Structure 1
Amino acid sequence: MTTPSPSALPSSGLAAPSPDRAAFLLDFDGTLVDIAPTPDTVQVEPGLIDTLLRLKEICGGALAIVTGRPIAQIDHFLPGIPTAVAGEHGLTLRRSPDGAEEPVRASPVPALWLQQAESLVSNFPNTVLERKKAGLVLHYRGHPAAESPFKDAIESWLAGQDAFEIHPSKMAWEIRLAGIHKGNAVEALMAQPPFAGRIPVFVGDDVTDMDGVRAAKALGGYGYLIPDDFPTGHAFRAWLAHFGENA
C-alpha cells in the first residue's frame, strides 16, 4: 500500500494524512494522559475530551484507543468517546461503543502466581499489583529497588512454560499471553468500518507500543512514539488539538 502525500505535523516536521483519510489509533497511558504513580491516579487534562470528540467527528468515527488497560478502565476515564477500544494489548476488542467485548483468547494466569505476586508487593511498600484477564503487572514506580526482585520472581514463574511472556514497561513488569500485542489490535481494527480504507496513525510512548507502530507502517500509515517523535505527551496532545481545530 502506497502512502499518499501527507501534510506536515505542526511543530514536529512529521506527517499525517488529511482527516477525511485518517484513522487514529492511540495509546492511553503516557500518550493521552501522563504516567501517574499508580494506574488509578492518572488525570485527564481539561480539554482532552473535547479534542477527542472533535477528532472522532472529523475522521468519520475512526478513533480507537489501543491500550494495555482493561476496556472498562478506558470507559471510566473516557466515557463514550472512542469508537473502538482494544484492551490489554489486544487481548480483548470492543469494535463499537455499543458492541460486546470480544475476547481474542482467554487464559487466566495461575492462581499461585497471583498469590505470590500479592505476597511480593506486600514486601515492597508503594508497589502495585495490577490484575488483568490474562495476565498481571507489577508496578515499582513507587519503589524502584523492587525492579530486579520483581523481574526475578516473574522469570521463575515463567520457567518451563511458553503460554505467557514477560514484558518490560515504564517502571513495571508485565506477564502477558504469548503472541498478544498491539500490532494484532491495529490490524484487526483497520479491517473493519469506519477504519477500513483509511490510513492508520498510531501513537504510543513505550516499548509495548512498538508493535502498533510497526503494524501501522506496514498498512501504509504512520507510527509515532513519545519522546522520539513528540517530546512529551503534552506536546502530542497539543498537536492533536491543533489538528482538530484546523481540519
Structure 2
Amino acid sequence: MDSLPPFNRAALLLDMDGTLVDLAPTPDAVSVAPGLRATLAALRQALSGALAIVTGRPIETVDRLFDDAPGAVAGEHGGAIRHAAGDPIERVDLPSPPSHWLAEADALERSHPGALLERKARGFALHYRAAPDARDALRGALDRLLATGSGFELHPAHMLWEVRPLGADKGSAVAALMQRSPFAGRLPIFIGDDVTDEDGMREARKHGGAGYRVDAVFRDPDGVRSWLRRSADLGDWAPLS
C-alpha cells in the first residue's frame, strides 16, 4: 500500500460518485451526507487550500451539491478546471460529439426501458443500472457508433458506458491541478472507486503521492467519509486500517 505523505505537505484529490457520495439509481438522485461539507471545508483549511474534487460530472453539479467546500474542482474528467473557489472555470479545447451520435443515444435510451442518457458538455453516458440486461447491447451499439468517427473513446464505469473525447481523463486533471498554487510542491493523495479514477491514481503516484481505491482500502463511501472526518478532527491523517 502507498504511504501517506505528511499532512503539511499533502494535497487531497477526491472522486465524487462512489467515493464521497453513495451511488444512486440516477445521477440526479445523489445526496450529500450530513456533515460532509463541513468536513471538507475543515480539511481544505488544514491543507492550506490543497483539496479538490475530481469528477466526470460538470463543475456546476459539484457546486450545487457542495457549495464552495472543496475550493478547487476538476469536472468532465479534466475537461473543465477551477483551481480555487471564485476562480473562473478553464476549459480544455476538446470536441463535442456529433449531433447524430446524440440522436442515436436518444434512440438507444428509448429502445432499452430503464436505460438513462446523461448528456455532458463534451460527451454523454448511457446508464443501465435499471436495465442491466442492456449492458452488452448498449456497448455494441456505442462501439459501432464510435467506429464512424474519431477523437472519442468509450469508457466503462459503475453500470454505465461513457463516450468522451480523447485527452480528457483524471490523470490530466491531477497534472493540471498540481501545476498551480496551492497544490504545487505538495504530494497528492487521490481516492477513487472505479476504472475512470485509475489515471488519477497513477498521476498522483508520479508526483510522489498516493492513490487508493475505495473498495480496497475504505470498503465503501461511508468508510471514506468516516476517515475524512477523523482526519479533520485530528488535523492529521487518521490510520487507514
Report the TM-score range of the alignment, normalised by the length of the smaller protein. Answer: over 0.9
Rounded to whole Å, the distance in 2 between the matches of 1:80 and 1:212 is: 22
Name 2:94's counterpart in structure 1: 106
* Structure 1 position 161, deviation (Å): 3.1
Q: Does 1:154 align with 2:142?
A: yes
User: Does the Cα contact within 8 Å between 2:13 and 2:51 map onto a contact in 1?
Assistant: yes
Paired with 2:196 and 2:221, the residues of 1 have a C-alpha distance of 16
Gaps (5+ residues) in structure 2?
Answer: 236-241
Pairwise CA distance, 1:162: 2.9
Query: For the residues of structure 2 that align with 1:133 and 1:198, how far apart are their CA atoms?
Result: 31
Query: Following the alignment from structure 1 to structure 2, what is the Cα–Cα distance between the partners of residues 73 and 185?
Result: 17
Q: Assess if the C-alpha contact under 8 Å between 1:107 and 1:133 holds in 2.
A: no
Contact 2:2 2:211 in 1 (8 A): no
* Residue number in structure 2 paired with 1:46: 34
Give me the whole-angstrom Cα distance separating, in 2, the residues matched to 1:114 and 1:204: 28
TM-score (norm: length of structure 2): 0.94
Q: Mean Cα displacement is larger for which, 160-169 or 13-22?
A: 13-22
1:83 aligns with: 71
Aligned length: 235
Q: Deviations over 1:128-149 (max 9, x none)?
A: 1011111100000011011111
Deviation, 1:105, is 1.9
Which residue identity does 2:121 align to in structure 1? Answer: K
Task: State the 1:16 CA deviation.
Answer: 2.0
The match for 1:3 is none
State the SS of the aligned residue for 1:29.
Answer: coil
Question: After superposition, what is the alpha-carbon deviation per residue over 1:139-191, rounded to whole angstroms, capped at 9, x for unaligned?
Answer: 00011011111111111111143300000011000001012210001011011
Matched, 1:239 2:233: no
Counterpart code for 2:114? N
Q: Deviations over 1:91-150 (max 9, x none)?
A: 111112111111112311111111111111112222210111111000000110111111
* Alignment match, 2:200: 212
1:69-106 deviation line (CA, Å, top 9, x unaligned) = 01110011011111211111101111121111111123
Aligned residue among 76, 84, 95 for 1:96: 84
Q: Aligned partners of 2:35, 2:234: CA distance in 1, in Å?
A: 16
**1:57 aligned to which of 22, 26, 45:** 45
Asked if structure 2 preserves the Cα contact closer than 8 Å seen for 1:106 and 1:133, the reply is no
CA distance in structure 2 between the aligned counterparts of 1:27 and 1:119, rounded to whole angstroms: 30
Stretch moving more, 35-44 or 157-166: 157-166
Task: Choose which of 186, 193, 197 in structure 2 pairs with 1:198.
Answer: 186
Letter in structure 1 aligned against 2:20: L
Instruction: Please tell me whether residue 134 in structure 1 is matched to residue 134 in structure 2.
Output: no
Letter in 2 for 1:47: G
Partner in structure 2 of residue 143 of structure 1 = 131
State which of 1, 5, 13 in structure 2 corresponds to 1:25. 13
> Secondary structure in 1 aligned to 2:191?
strand
Measure the CA separation in 1 of the matches of 2:176 and 2:73: 11
Distance 2:74 2:193 in 1: 16
Q: Which moved more, 1:154-163 or 1:70-79?
A: 154-163
2:176 paired with 1:188? yes
Choose between structure 1 and 2: higher helix proportion: 2
Structure 2 counterpart of 1:170, from 158, 162, 166: 158
| SS of residue matched to 2:217 | coil
Distance (Å, rounded) in 2 between the aligned partners of 1:223 and 1:88: 20
TM-score, normalised relative to structure 1: 0.92
Q: Aligned partner of 1:23: which letter?
A: A
Hey, what does 1:7 align to over in structure 2? none
